[in-house]
Amino acid sequence: MTRIKHKNLVAYGLVAPYWIHFSIFMAYPLIFSLILVFHKWDVYTPMQFVGLRNFVRLFQDDLFLQSLLNTLLFLLIHIPLQIVAALLFSVLLNEKIRARGFFRAAYFMPVVISGVVISLLWQQLYSQENGVLNLLLAHIGLPKIPWLISPEWAMPSIAIMATWKNVGLYIVLFLAGLQTIPSYLYEAADIDGASVWQKFRSITLPMLNPTVLLVMILSTIGGFSLFIEPYMLTGGGPMNRTLSAMLYIYKQAFYFNRMGYAATLGFFFALLILSVVLVQRKIIEQEPE
């Protein structure tokens, strides 16, 4: 009896640091956010109870709506681009080739490098007059593109950059998925005289379905956190067209010291993320595979 009790004590001792940390830095902020959303607070003066006013304001806040739409636009460009590029390179890498490791490592390089570095580099590449990309376009006789300065191009430009940064990770995930496809499927298709495209359409793509959905979830979560890229490249402009939801929350909290309102925005935004991800998960679970 005492031995069992002693064993339990050891186990609780091992997990105790985690749960202490959990209650202070996870549970407490969670509970405190429920208080904060009903208050107005600038950090310096005492909190002021405002009832539901933060929520009323949120639903009338055109700029927040705009930031959500911007984030959505980012996802709508980023995710398909990401999946197509990752599929292309992973299928090529899955062929019998030399130096697969080298190519994989090269494509993966931007994944490990800080978004700050990537943003500074692309700020130059995207620059209107002297940017390398526009120099290249001019060189081959095409008109320059106003990458970051036109309201229409700014968010797509950031989405292209983010795709370039992250695609290496998804190439690796797709490659792992491709290697689980049994080769007899392709052999059978070869006997039937299927073309490369037919094999891709009716074997590769369906078998990769779980990976495609996984990639969608991961890039959705990543896209909802979009912050440092617009913060560095555009500050949210031009005309608030690259103001991501995260950047807007940051500005409300730390430019205007509206802690209560920022917490309300964060609360609402987190619920939105959670429901999108849960819906995506449901779709995965419904897949027969």
Partner 1 sequence: MAKKAALYAVLLAGTVVFIYPFVWMVFATLKPEMEIPTFGLWPSRFTLQHYEQVFAKIPIGRAFVNSIVVAGAITASVLLFSSMVGYALSRLRFPGKNLMFMLILFTMMIPFQLTLIPLYVLMVKLHWTDTYLALIVPGMMSGFGILLFRQFFQTIPQALLDAARVDGLSDLQILFRVIWPLSRPVLITVGILTFMNSWNEVLWPLIVVRKSELMTMPQIVTIFAVGGMAEAQLGIKLAAATLLAVPIVLAYSFFQRYFIESMATSGLKG
Hey, which residues between 118 and 137 contact partner 1 (CB under 8 A)? 120-125, 127, 129-132, 135-136
CA–CA distance from 215 to each of 90, 208, 266, 270 (Å)? Answer: 13, 11, 24, 20
- The terminus-to-terminus CA distance of the chain in angstroms comes to 48
Closest by Cα among 245, 261, 244 to 253: 261
Q: Which of residues 196-215 bind partner 1 (CB under 8 A)?
A: 214
Is 218 one of the binding residues for partner 1 (CB under 8 A)? yes
Contacts of 227 (CB under 8 A, 6+ apart): 244, 246, 247, 250
Q: Minimal distance in Å, beta carbon 114 to partner 1?
A: 4
Q: Let me know: does 127 contact 240? Beta carbons within 8 Å.
A: no
Q: Which is nearer to partner 1, 52 or 221 (CB)?
A: 221
In the chain, what's the furthest Cα-to-Cα distance? Answer: 84
Beta strands in the chain (DSSP E): 39-40, 48-49
Q: Is 140 in the site for partner 1 (CB under 8 A)?
A: no
Q: Which range in 12-20, 73-81, 146-154, 179-187 contacts partner 1 by CB under 8 A?
A: 12-20
Choose, by CB under 8 A, the member of 221, 239, 256, 283 that binds partner 1: 221
* Distance (Å) of CA 196 to CA 91, 202, 205, 207: 11, 10, 12, 15
Q: Residue 125 burial (CB < 10 Å; 0-12/13-18/19+)?
A: middle
Q: Does residue 287 interact with partner 1 by CB under 8 A?
A: no
- Contacts with partner 1 by CB under 8 A: the residue count is 88
Interaction of residue 289 with partner 1, rule CB under 8 A: no
Contact between 72 and partner 1 per CB under 8 A:
no
Q: How far is the CB of 187 from partner 1 (least distance, A)?
A: 19
Q: Is 172 in the site for partner 1 (CB under 8 A)?
A: yes
The amino acid present at 131, given as its one-letter code, is G
- Select from 245, 247, 253 the least CA-distant residue to 231: 247
Say which amino acid occupies 79: I
Query: Does 228 help bind partner 1 (rule: CB under 8 A)?
Result: yes
* Residue numbers 25-64 binding partner 1 by CB under 8 A: 25-26, 28-30, 32-33, 36, 43
Closest CB to partner 1 among 74 and 231? 231
For residues 8 and 152, which CB has a smaller minimum distance to partner 1 in the complex?
A: 8
How near is the Cβ of 192 to partner 1 at its closest, in Å? 21
Residue 199: CB minimum distance to partner 1, A: 14
Among 137, 178, 189, 277, contact with partner 1 (rule: CB under 8 A): 277
Q: How far is the CB of 227 from partner 1 (least distance, A)?
A: 6
What phi, psi does 40 have (nearest 5°)? Answer: -110, 130
Is residue 178 involved in binding partner 1 (CB under 8 A)?
A: no
Nearer to partner 1, 135 or 152 (CB): 135
DSSP tally for the chain: helices H, then strands E: 14, 2
Binding mask 97-116 for partner 1 (x = CB under 8 A): x---x-xxxxxxxxxxxxxx
Give the nearer residue to partner 1 in terms of CB position, either 241 or 251.
251
DSSP 8-class letter at 43? S
